[in-house]
Amino acid sequence: MIRDEHARDRQFPVDGKRFSLFTIAGLIAGVILISGLIKTGDDSLLCSIAKSRSQPINGFSDMETQLRALVHYATSTIIPQQNYDEISVTYDVLRNRSPCNFLVFGLGYDSPMWDALNPRGKTLFLEEDQKWVDDVLKGAPNLHARAVKYRTQLKEASTLLNHYRTQLSCFPSNAYLRGNDQCKLALTGFPNEFYDTEWDLIMIDAPRGWFAEAPGRMAAIFSAAVMARNRKGAGVTHVFLHDVDRKVEKLYATEFLCKKYLVKSAGRLWHFEIPAAVKTTSHDDPHFC
């Protein structure tokens, strides 16, 4: 990213496997082909929300989005945030679940790719910096991105774990997000569509989490777990967490996303499939896993 702190937080190590721009273009080209082969009436590959849509599908608009992404990566010298193996994990799920509701914490150089890989679906990007949102949208105005504010700081990670274990509104049997000011890990004050949409896939690759005053990803991980457990539709919620080599990401993933739901890992990315919770959890049990 243009800003040094974003670049440091969202680039993989220099000695990691570099992701080829040609490979990205190939992935998107493959999706274009797959999208053309999927019949409009075939519900087997649709996410739960797609079945209730009533607006007509604009095939040209989908193709234009994908072609813009191809041009973007074919002419860019910037390496995306994730490497080939990491991107492939999410791509494999999108290939089977798109069109779906895809929530992405973070806005960066890979955003046009994620948008293009979910044709006819809803992809929302959440970013902590309004200026960065404005800068990215200048080059990719078709992206649906919103600036949001976090209430946490990375240096509070341990304290927040202790807080959730004693705050009833954080307990898995009671947890909710919108307006839950008592639970400091609940994401509050976000756009209505964040709360009103049932997300099929959630990618956590932000906010910043490499210095003490950064928001950290504690609240994003907790809130993803709450949304997944509160799911009303059929199927599981796919949660992808990047940078699991870092202490806080790994700690919070183990606490809230649960190792028993970890189905795949690649590089610094973990993929969880989280089912809706059976409403039998004890009200005095603070544990998610």
What rounded mean pLDDT belongs to the chain?
A: 82
pLDDT tens-digit map of 230-239: 999 999 999 9
Closest to 203 in 3D by CA, of 19, 10, 31: 10
Asked whether residue 282 is domain-assigned, the answer is no
Contacts of 207 (CB under 8 A, 6+ apart): 105, 106, 127, 128, 150, 214, 215, 216, 217, 220
- Is 93 within the bounds of a domain? yes
Residue 238's Cα: distance from chain center in Å?
Answer: 9
Is 284 part of a structural domain of the chain?
no
Taking 80 as the threshold, does the pLDDT of residue 221 lie above it? Answer: yes
For 239-264, how does the pLDDT look when each residue is reduced to its tens digit (9 = 90+)? 999 999 999 999 999 999 999 999 99
CATH number at residue 82: 3.40.50
Give the SS3 label for residue 74: helix
Q: Is residue 33 one of the residues assigned to a domain? A: yes
What pLDDT is stored for residue 286 in this prediction? 87
- Structural domain contains residue 53: yes
User: With 70 as the cut, is the pLDDT of residue 289 above it?
Assistant: yes
DSSP code at position 13: P
For residue 14, is pLDDT > 80? no
Indicate whether 289 belongs to any domain.
no
Q: Residue 120: inside a domain, yes or no?
A: yes
Q: Tell me whether residue 279 is in a domain.
A: no
Domain count of the fold of the chain: 1
- 3-state DSSP call for residue 113? helix
pLDDT of 59 > 50? The answer is: no
CA atoms of 73 and 23, how far apart (whole Å): 10
- What is the structure's pLDDT at 40? 41
Banded pLDDT at 85 (limits 50, 70, 90): very high
Q: Give the residue from 107, 116, 33, 34 showing the smallest Cα distance to 69.
A: 116
Q: Would the pTM count as exceeding 0.85?
A: no
Closest CA to 268 of 214, 212, 205: 205
Please name the residue that has the structure tokens 């739960």. Answer: 48
Question: For residue 91, what are the domain limits?
Answer: 4-274
Would you say residue 162 has pLDDT above 80? yes
Q: Which residue would you say has higher pLDDT here, 129 or 286?
A: 129
